[in-house]
Amino acid sequence: MASGIVTILIRDNRMHFEILVEDLSGKKALDILIQKIVGAQHTYNIHPYRGIGHIPKNLTSPTTVNTDLLLDQLPIQLRDYGKSYANDPTKVVIVVCDLDDNCLKTFRQELLRVLDSCNPKPETRFCVAIEEGEAWLLRDIPAIKAAYPKAKDNILNGYQNDSICGTWEFPADAYSSEAQMPSERNLGMYVGKKNRHGLRKSLRI
C-alpha cells in the first residue's frame, strides 16, 4: 500500500499529530489503527476530506473554491500549520492520500514542492497508498470475510499484496451478487462501517 517506510520519530516528550486523509473511509481505518501506531501517550486529530482533488498551479495564491478536497487545500493547510507549529518538533503533520493513476516519483515531487513553498515549514510526512488506501484492507482476508461472509474466496485469495490491480474494482468482483454491492457513491462509507468490526478482530499491530 505505501510508497515506502515512513519514519516518524517518536520523541521522549509528548507529541501531537495532525493527520489529513482524503476521505471518510480512510478516517474509519485510522480511527482504529492510529493509537496502536503512535501510542496512547501522544495526541492526534484526523481530518477527512471529500476527495483528493488537485494541487493548485499557483501555490502562492491557491484557489479556495473546492474547500472539501485535500490537495486543493494542502498549500493553505501546510502554510497555516507552519505558522502555528514553527520551531516545535513535537507537532507533526501527516498527509495520507492515494496514488491512483499518478506516477509515484512525480507525485511525490509535487507534494514536496507544496511543502517547500511554506515558510516556515511544518514537520510533515507524506504517506502515499499504492494504488488506493483500500489496498491495505485487502491484506486482511479474515476481516473482509467477517464483513462480507459471501465474498468469493477464489477472487480474494488471488490478491497479491501491493499489486496494481484496480483496488476499488477488485473487492467489488468478490461480491456474490450485485445486490450485495454498495453503490459507487457511498462505497467508501460502506466499507468503513462494515469492516470496522472485522478489522478490530483481525488486526494485530
- pLDDT of 196: 42
Q: Evaluate whether residue 1 is within a structural domain.
A: no
Residues 143 and 69 in one domain: no
Mean predicted confidence (pLDDT) in 100-126: 92
Res 178: pLDDT: 44
Domain end marker among 94, 129, 164: 129
Q: How confident is the model at residue 9 (pLDDT cuts 50, 70, 90)?
A: low
| Structural domain includes residue 3 | no
Q: Verify that 117 and 175 share a domain, yes or no.
A: no
Out of 8-12, 31-35, 128-132, pick the least confident: 8-12
- DSSP per position, 104-170: HHHHHHHHHHHHHT-SSPPPEEEEEESS-THHHHHT-HHHHHHH-TTS-HHHHTT--TT--S-TTHH
Distance of CA 90 to the CA centre of its chain: 22
104 & 153 share domain: no
In whole angstroms, how large is the CA radius of gyration of the chain? Answer: 18
* Lowest-confidence pick of 90-94, 129-133, 147-151, 157-161: 129-133
The single-letter code of the amino acid at 65 is V
Q: What is the tens place of the pLDDT at every residue in 54-109?
A: 999 888 776 655 578 999 999 999 999 999 998 888 999 999 988 888 888 999 99
- Residues 144 and 44 grouped into a single domain: no
Sheet with strand 91-98: strands edge to edge: 43-48, 16-21, 91-98, 124-129
- Position 184 scores a pLDDT of 39
20 and 91, same structural domain? Answer: yes
Query: What would the 3-class secondary structure string for 2-43 be?
Result: ECCCCCCCCCCCCCEEEEEECCHHHHHHHHHHHHHHHCCCCE
Same structural domain, 161 and 78: no
Q: Which domain holds residue 55?
A: 16-129
Can you give the pLDDT at residue 2?
A: 41
Number of domains present in the structure of the chain: 2
In this structure, the answer to whether residues 120 and 144 fall within a common structural domain is no
Residue 82 domain-assigned? yes
Question: Do 123 and 184 share a structural domain?
Answer: no
Residue 2 falls within a domain, yes or no?
Answer: no
Q: What is the pLDDT of residue 67?
A: 75
Percent of the chain's residues with pLDDT above 90: 31
CATH number at residue 22: 3.40.50
Reported as a pLDDT band with limits 50, 70 and 90, residue 199 is very low
What pLDDT does 66 receive? 53
* Backbone dihedral angles phi then psi of residue 4, each to the nearest 5 degrees: 165, -175
- Within a domain: 5: no
What integer pLDDT is reported at residue 58 of this predicted model?
85
Tell me what pLDDT residue 1 has: 39
Q: Lowest-pLDDT range, 44-53, 54-63, 156-165, 179-188?
A: 179-188
CA 30/CA 34 separation, integer angstroms: 5
Q: Which three cell numbers stand for residue 127?
A: 504517506
Supply angle C-alpha 199, 204, 35, rounded to 5: 80
